[in-house]
Amino acid sequence: MNLPAEFIEKMKDLLGDEFDDYISCYQEPRWYGLRVNTAKISVEEFEKICPFEIKKVPWIENGFYYEGDKVQAAKHPYYFAGLYYLQEPSAMTPASRLPVSAGDKVLDVCAAPGGKATELGAKLAREGVLAANDISNSRAKGLLKNIEVFGIGNVLVLSEEPGKLEDYFTGYFDKILIDAPCSGEGMFRKDKKVVKAWEEHGPEFFAKLQKSIITQAARMLKPGGLMLYSTCTFDVRENEETIEYLLDTYPEFQILPMEGYEGFCKGRWDLSKSKNEDLKKTIRIFPHKMHGEGHYLALLQKGDPLEETIESKTYSNPKQGVKKIPEDLEAFLKYTTLDIKKERLEIHGETVYYMPKAIPDIKGLRFLRTGLYLGDLKKNRFEPSQALAMYLKKEEYKFTIDLPVTDERVIRYLKGETIEVDDFVSAKEKGWYLLLVDGYPLGFGKLLQGTLKNKYLPGWRWQS
């Protein structure tokens, strides 16, 4: 592989005697990873039902390696059920090292395609709010799909510049993750196309952008809150010096230690401008030391920890919510165990959303989704959404058809076909049924006389 001469000289200075080991790892195969969606299934249960061979990623509780050159992991019904996300092993690290608890208000600043946002959302356990943002509208669409496949409903999916978000969310978030746009040096081994992009826009270009993003994010973090900054590059300007810039601009921030692993390397404080030894608490990941690609992480806290959560903004717009739940929706909800509060319902035309608690008015921002998309109010009926199907658990809806993964009707349903299910229900039964695979929802169908009319979202369908 032809690497730029400037990059090679920099890595020789950075790695010293380890440089030859680093270059040698370019001859080794890449590592493929998947991360279990613990909002839907436990790690232990997934290990029991996983249809292909997996091996633990030792520094990630719910991370596994799989043989990506032999297995089509994205072509299995469990993937469509949102039981796992395909993610490079080192890239799993940032979301794993940001402590998120149920009820937190969390921001993923540069979230597409959703690898980190989906993990943060799973940690929230349906409480609090996940704001997932990506400046690219096209990338944000992919982000939204991944969030909905994972069954995360307490969300705001946005497509804005971080600077504009600040006007709405100053001092609002408990936790913020910044997986910053970067020169991508840590991905050279995985993807040769990144090298060409590096030659067009190198570290200096991205360092300026990163400094802007991290200071904007700092102002959206509430006092005592935590922020995780990460890149997939090796350059000191994009890593340690960006953290230095934050500390110079906002001295109330402090670097915190993270849970370690034997392959992690300390941040290069000695190459920074300030020679701040606290930078040793940041983490570097190198592909010649671990089974993963290159990464950098820094965990920071804004001031001292707070004993109690500060509610800087609340969901208090009196125009939001409904006075009475529409009859058709109420009739459908009787078949669920969901505790839907009318003050958190929003209806726009025919479309019904269930909003997270304690969010500010975001009018004026570009967004793709606010809250859980429940479905649509049609004439004399309510039609549940694909997002609601993925949000529900088997025990939360009365009418279900649970197919084993070996049943050929599973794939036919995912392709959008109508299927016969008279071996599961009587001919008298009718209405909205939730189709499952081995107990995990795939989507809704309209049942009539033993035939399930397919309501699986067309844009998500199985492609042969």
Residue 380 pLDDT:
83
Residue 314 pLDDT:
47
With beta carbons less than 8 A apart as the criterion, state whether 265 and 283 touch: yes
Residue 315 pLDDT:
42
Q: What are the residue ranges in the chain where pLDDT is below 70?
A: 306-320
CA-based diameter of the chain, in Å?
75
- d(Cα 450, Cα 440) in Å, to the nearest integer? 21
With beta carbons less than 8 A apart as the criterion, state whether 157 and 179 touch: no
With beta carbons less than 8 A apart as the criterion, state whether 414 and 369 touch: no
Phi, psi (rounded to 5 degrees) for 130: -110, 115
- d(Cα 278, Cα 147) in Å, to the nearest integer? 35
The strand pair at 63-66 and 345-348 is best described as unpaired
Catalytic site includes residue 265: no
The active-site residue out of 50, 110, 182, 232 is 232
Packing angle between helix 115-124 and helix 137-149, nearest 10 degrees? Answer: 40
Residue 318 pLDDT:
40
CA 164 vs CA 112, 216, 243, 364: distances in Å = 18, 9, 22, 10
Tracing tokens 């469509």 back to the chain, one arrives at 80
- d(Cα 255, Cα 300) in Å, to the nearest integer? 5
With beta carbons less than 8 A apart as the criterion, state whether 431 and 447 touch: yes
Residue 404 pLDDT:
98
- Report residue 49 CA to chain centroid gap: 23
- Report residue 362 CA to chain centroid gap: 21
Residue 307 pLDDT:
62
With beta carbons less than 8 A apart as the criterion, state whether 176 and 109 touch: yes
The strand pair at 283-285 and 265-266 is best described as antiparallel
Contacts of 41 (CB under 8 A, 6+ apart): 83, 440
The strand pair at 381-384 and 400-403 is best described as unpaired
Rg of the chain (C-alpha set): 23
